[in-house]
C-alpha cells in the first residue's frame, strides 16, 4: 500500500489536565503528516474512539496525548487489544515513565543519578507528611504528583507551612506525591530518537525570567521561556547528559522517541528528573526544535515515527481483531 492510501489517525485530547495542550499538539502533528499522508485524520480521545478508528479504517495511530489515560499505558493497551500499530512506547514503558516513583526506582537500578526523595500519601495527611518531609530532606524541596506531566501540581515551597500547602495541592492530582531534594542548577533536556540506532538529539538549556521556572504557563506560552540550543555547558557535562538520556530511555524500555529532563549542578553529573515518552509537539515544544537542529523537519520527523510503527507492525504476528 502506498503512503497516499494509508490512513493515519492522530489521537489527542482526552480527559487529563493536559488535554488542551494535547489538542494543540495534535493539530500540529496532523497538519504535518498530511504533507506525506493525505488521508490523515484528527480524532478526539473519547468514548467513541473505537468506532472512529474502525469507521476511518485506520492503518497507524499517532497518539499525541499528555497525562493519563493517554500517556500512562492505558491507551496503548487499548490499541494493542484492537491490533492497531501505534507510535511510541508500549504499555509497560509508558506506565513506568508516567509514574515518577517507579521510574526513579528503575533509574537507580541502572546507576543513573537522581535526587534524594521521600514518598508521601494522601491518607497520611498533609500536616504530618510536611513534618516528615522537613525531617528527612529539609526545606529545599520540590513537590510533585507521582503521575502528572507538564509540571502540573509541582511546587517549590520555602517553609513547613508552604510544604503542607504544596502537598494539599498535589494531592488534588494524585494519591501519591514525590518530594525531592531541590538541587540548584540549570534546566536542560535531551531528546532521543530511534533512527540509526538510538540517537541523542542536541541538548537544550531552558531559561525562564528571574524568579520564574519552567511551569505550565512558561512551557506553553510563546515568549515566556528561552531555549538555548545547543546548551552552552561544559563538553564533559554535555556528553554525559546525552549518555544518561540514552540510559534512562533504555532503563524504562522506551521506543521510537523520548525526552529526558535534567537539572545540571555547577559541578558534577546532571541529575535526571523524568522521561517523557510522548514529548510535546506544540509550536513552543522542545523536542521538534531539537530535531530541527539536526536537519530533521517536523514533517520528516512525524513521518519517520509513523513508518517505524508501520514497519514494526508488519514484523509482528497479524491480529484480526479489528
Answer yes or no: 27 catalytic: no
Running DSSP on this structure, what letter comes out for residue 115?
-
Q: Measured at the alpha carbon of residue 277, what is the angle toward residues 14 and 55, in degrees to the nearest 5?
A: 45
Specify the 3-state DSSP secondary structure of 276: strand
Answer yes or no: 280 catalytic: yes
Task: Using the Cα atoms of residue 201, residue 183, residue 284 and residue 148 in order, give the sign of their dihedral.
Answer: positive
Is residue 40 within 8 A of residue 93, CB to CB? The reply is no
Q: Which of 94, 259, 287, 308 is catalytic?
A: 259
Q: Which of 73, 280, 285, 308 is catalytic?
A: 280
Q: Which of 150, 225, 258, 285 is catalytic?
A: 150
Strand partners of residue 258:
192
Is residue 284 within 8 A of residue 220, CB to CB? The reply is yes
Answer yes or no: 18 catalytic: yes
Burial pattern 248-263, b for ≥16 Cβ within 10 A else e, equals bbebbebbbbbbbbbb
Residue 190: half-sphere exposure toward Cβ, Cα within 13 Å: 29
Q: Which of 261, 285, 287, 308 is catalytic?
A: 261
The total of other beta-carbon atoms located within 10 Å of residue 85's CB is: 20
Q: Which cell numbers in the block locate residue 8?
A: 493515519
Q: Which of 274, 285, 290, 308 is catalytic?
A: 274
Instruction: Decide the pairing of beta strands 197-200 and 271-276.
Output: unpaired
Q: Which of 14, 16, 18, 23 is catalytic?
A: 18
Q: Is the peptide bond before 280 cis (omega within 30 degrees of 0)?
A: no
Answer yes or no: 261 catalytic: yes
Answer yes or no: 259 catalytic: yes
Strand partners of residue 110:
none
Q: Which of 37, 84, 220, 287 is catalytic?
A: 220
Is residue 192 within 8 A of residue 202, CB to CB? The reply is no
Q: Which of 16, 89, 258, 276 is catalytic?
A: 276
Answer yes or no: 225 catalytic: no
Q: Which cell numbers in the block locate residue 1?
A: 500500500
Phi, psi (degrees; rounded to nearest 5) at 226: -115, 130
Catalytic residue IDs: 18, 150, 220, 259, 261, 274, 276, 280
Amino acid at each position: 500500500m502506498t503512503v497516499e492510501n494509508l490512513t493515519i489517525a492522530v489521537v489527542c485530547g482526552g480527559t487529563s489536565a493536559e488535554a488542551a495542550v494535547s489538542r494543540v499538539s495534535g493539530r500540529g502533528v496532523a497538519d504535518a503528516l498530511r504533507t506525506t499522508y493525505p488521508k490523515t485524520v484528527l480524532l478526539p480521545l473519547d468514548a467513541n474512539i473505537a468506532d472512529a478508528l474502525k469507521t476511518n479504517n485506520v492503518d497507524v495511530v499517532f497518539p499525541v496525548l499528555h497525562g493519563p489515560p493517554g500517556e500512562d499505558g492505558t491507551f496503548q493497551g487499548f490499541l494493542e487489544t484492537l491490533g492497531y500499530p501505534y507510535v511510541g512506547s508500549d504499555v509497560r514503558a509508558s506506565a513506568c515513565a508516567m509514574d515518577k516513583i517507579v521510574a526513579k526506582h528503575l533509574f537507580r537500578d541502572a546507576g543513573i543519578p537522581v535526587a534524594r526523595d521521600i514518598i508521601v500519601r494522601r491518607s497520611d495527611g498533609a500536616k504530618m507528611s510536611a513534618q516528615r518531609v522537613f525531617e528527612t530532606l529539609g526545606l529545599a524541596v520540590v513537590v510533585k504528583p507521582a503521575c502528572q506531566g507538564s509540571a502540573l501540581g509541582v511546587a517549590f515551597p520555602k517553609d513547613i507551612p508552604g510544604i503542607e500547602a504544596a502537598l494539599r495541592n498535589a494531592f488534588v492530582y494524585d494519591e501519591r506525591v514525590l518530594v525531592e531534594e531541590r538541587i540548584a542548577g540549570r534546566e536542560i533536556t535531551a531528546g532521543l530518537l530511534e533512527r540509526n540506532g538510538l540517537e541523542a538529539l542536541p541538548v537544550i538549556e531552558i531559561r525562564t525570567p528571574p524568579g520564574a521556572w519552567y511551569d505550565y504557563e512558561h512551557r506553553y506560552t510563546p515568549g515566556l521561556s528561552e531555549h538555548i540550543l545547543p546548551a552552552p555547558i561544559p563538553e564533559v557535562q554535555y556528553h554525559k547528559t546525552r549518555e544518561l538520556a540514552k540510559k534512562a530511555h533504555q532503563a524504562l524500555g522506551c521506543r521510537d522517541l523520548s525526552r529526558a529532563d535534567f537539572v545540571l549542578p555547577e559541578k558534577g553529573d546532571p541529575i535526571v528528573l523524568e522521561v517523557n515518552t510522548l514529548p510535546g509537539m506544540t509550536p513552543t515544544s522542545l523536542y521538534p526544535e531539537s530535531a530541527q537542529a539536526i536537519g530533521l523537519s517536523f514533517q520528516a520527523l512525524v513521518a519517520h515515527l509513523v513508518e517505524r510503527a508501520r514497519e514494526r507492525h508488519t514484523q509482528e504476528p497479524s491480529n484480526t481483531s479489528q
